[in-house]
Amino acid sequence: MADSGETEGPGNKDVIERAKNDGRELTKEEKQRLRKEKKQQKKGKEKKDDKASQDGEKREKKPVSSASPAPQPATQPPTQKAPPAVPALVPVPASETPPPGDKPAKSKAELKAERRARQEAERASKQGKKGDVGGQQVAAGKPKAPPSELQPVVKRLPEYMQADNPEVLKKLAKKLERQQTPEYNAATKIPLRSDYGYKVSLFSHLHQYSRKAPLTQQLSIPSTVIHPAIVRLGLQYSQGIVAGSNARSVALLHAFKQVIRDYTTPPNEELSRDLVNKLKPYISFLNQCRPLSASMGNAIKYIKKEISNIPSQCKEEEAKSKLLTCIECYINEKIILAAKAIAKSSIEKISDGDVILVYGCSSLVNHILCEAFEKNRKFRVIVVDSRPRLEGREALRRLVQRGISCTYVLISAVSYILPEVSKVFLGAHALLANGYVMSRVGTSQIALVAKAFNVPVLVCCETYKFCERVQTDSFVSNELDDPDDLIVTRKGKTQLEHWQDVRLLGLLNLVYDVTPPDFVDLVITDLGMIPCTSVPVVLRVKNVDQ
């Protein structure tokens, strides 16, 4: 048997010898087969363990001072431990190559000693394995860990950008279910809004809702989970009654003020933790009505921070009034005073005889123009508008009421009117960290044509709208509005009336687009006039301040 054993792989030699020593009577083919099967099974599992055990062994070998001469893996000892009928333990750390070369024949006693030493080493290594594995990983992780002052890069992708991933949708549905006070049953959960209509394939990762099916239809009355002020706010958002970045943020903050006023801390709860938990379902609800804007996101972050900073020994009334004043302060500083500061800087840029082009309805730009008019600057304004929102008409009304002379065109006529224009003032929805300006769809087009005609483009934006996101095109993160808005009746014919029935026809109603920084000449903020590329600097300074 031994002779025939030698013709096989060297790894089997010792085993067969041992088996002979143990008195097992399996045929060598069977043994070999079984061993090979188990080896392959255990290979993947034990690879890691083996590596750790290898290192562990190597480290442990010195203190253990085993007599084993060859750094063999502990293949052999486990077979001694296990009952002979279980050859499974044979290939335990099987990824190691079988003992290289031909081992010189050893005497029985030497082999026994070897085996015992190996057993002890294995036991010790198994104990040290856990610590070692951790140590090894830490050692491996150290060079890869980023320096402490940089933020972790791995971010969770927001849900509203994953409308085509069914798992994410399921998770969201569960989350909305969970966000309810425990004493009420599932009938009062926050409803999940469903998509409407055929989505253009490029945008299948975004949601597309219909204005005719507001979320509040699915809520029970009275809604016990959501504060009525928030329900009203959500409805106003989804129907477009409150629109515009500043307006939405201010409305949100006022609604939160109402929530805080009506809030009472339940017994055995801390205000700082409970209030934040109470706000979570409201925010999910608002997100379902209309995706949150960057300014709203920043405002919510601020509020949550303020709430969690309330010391626990603070009395409830005191805490509530403190929070209310914080919110007032935020609105005052970041929106109202910022608008004043921006208007002051912008007026220097408006000279007499200017022809200023504005797009859509930006509350900040309207404010600037009205202020400049009060300061007796002589200029006239061209308001550019686009379908289907036609927000420019609102801006037109406000400016005409003040007495400013205005012209009104649609965006397709921009290249006709631009030779007359001396400056372009644009508002922004958010300023991204790579210098791109996210604003109403059509803004990038106006900036492009203005650049072609060499007309300076100035963007006015408060600093609370700066956000950490980066984006290079208008596809990855956007908002899809109701596609039925594009339908229009001209001369009694509505061409697109039955667009849903036509399989191959899709309507796309984008809300935002991003303008590259080379189209923008100047950004006017409450911190001063900066180029587009200085946005991350401002963000860093703000973070350090906070």
Q: Which residues bind another protein (CB under 8 A)?
A: 200, 202, 386-388, 393, 396-397, 400, 405-417, 440-442, 444-445, 448-449, 452, 473-475, 486, 488, 490, 495-496, 499, 502-510, 513-514
Nearest Cα neighbor of 254 from 233, 227, 274 is 233
Q: Residue 301 Cβ, how far from another protein at the closest point, in Å?
A: 28
Between 74 and 357, name the residue whose CB sits nearer to another protein.
357
3-state secondary structure of 457: strand
Alpha helix (H) residue ranges in 262-410: 271-289, 294-308, 316-330, 338-349, 363-374, 392-402
3-state secondary structure of 164: coil
Q: Residue 496 Cβ, how far from another protein at the closest point, in Å?
A: 5
Q: Residue 457 Cβ, how far from another protein at the closest point, in Å?
A: 14
Q: How far apart are CA 541 and CA 319, in angstroms?
A: 29
Q: How far apart are CA 163 and CA 167, in angstroms?
A: 10
Q: How far apart are CA 130 and CA 124, in angstroms?
A: 11
Between 449 and 524, name the residue whose CB sits nearer to another protein.
449
Residue 504 Cα distances to 82, 164, 240, 507, angstroms: 68, 20, 29, 10
Can you say how many angstroms the Cα of residue 425 is from the centroid of all Cα atoms in its chain? 31
The answer to whether the CB of 364 falls within 8 A of the CB of 460 is yes
Q: Residue 198 Cβ, how far from another protein at the closest point, in Å?
A: 10
Q: Residue 168 Cβ, how far from another protein at the closest point, in Å?
A: 24
Between 70 and 413, name the residue whose CB sits nearer to another protein.
413
The answer to whether the CB of 103 falls within 8 A of the CB of 48 is no
Amino acid at 467: C
> If DSSP states are collapsed to H, E and C, what string results for 57-87?
HHHHHHHHCCCCCCCCCCCHHHHHHCCCCCH
> Angle at Cα 126 formed by Cα 124 and Cα 128, nearest 5°?
70
Between 184 and 453, name the residue whose CB sits nearer to another protein.
453
Q: Residue 417 Cβ, how far from another protein at the closest point, in Å?
A: 7
Between 70 and 508, name the residue whose CB sits nearer to another protein.
508
Between 139 and 470, name the residue whose CB sits nearer to another protein.
470
Q: Residue 313 Cβ, how far from another protein at the closest point, in Å?
A: 53
Q: Residue 137 Cβ, how far from another protein at the closest point, in Å?
A: 42
Q: Residue 167 Cβ, how far from another protein at the closest point, in Å?
A: 27
According to DSSP, residue 266 is labeled P
Between 296 and 514, name the residue whose CB sits nearer to another protein.
514
Q: Residue 334 Cβ, how far from another protein at the closest point, in Å?
A: 29
Between 329 and 505, name the residue whose CB sits nearer to another protein.
505
Between 51 and 398, name the residue whose CB sits nearer to another protein.
398
What are 514's strand-pairing partners? Answer: 438
What dihedral do alpha carbons 119, 122, 123, 126 form, nearest 10°? -170
Between 307 and 361, name the residue whose CB sits nearer to another protein.
361
54: left (phi over 0), alpha (psi -120 to 50) or beta: alpha
List Cβ neighbours of 539 (8 Å cut-off, separation of 6 or more).
Answer: 433, 466, 468
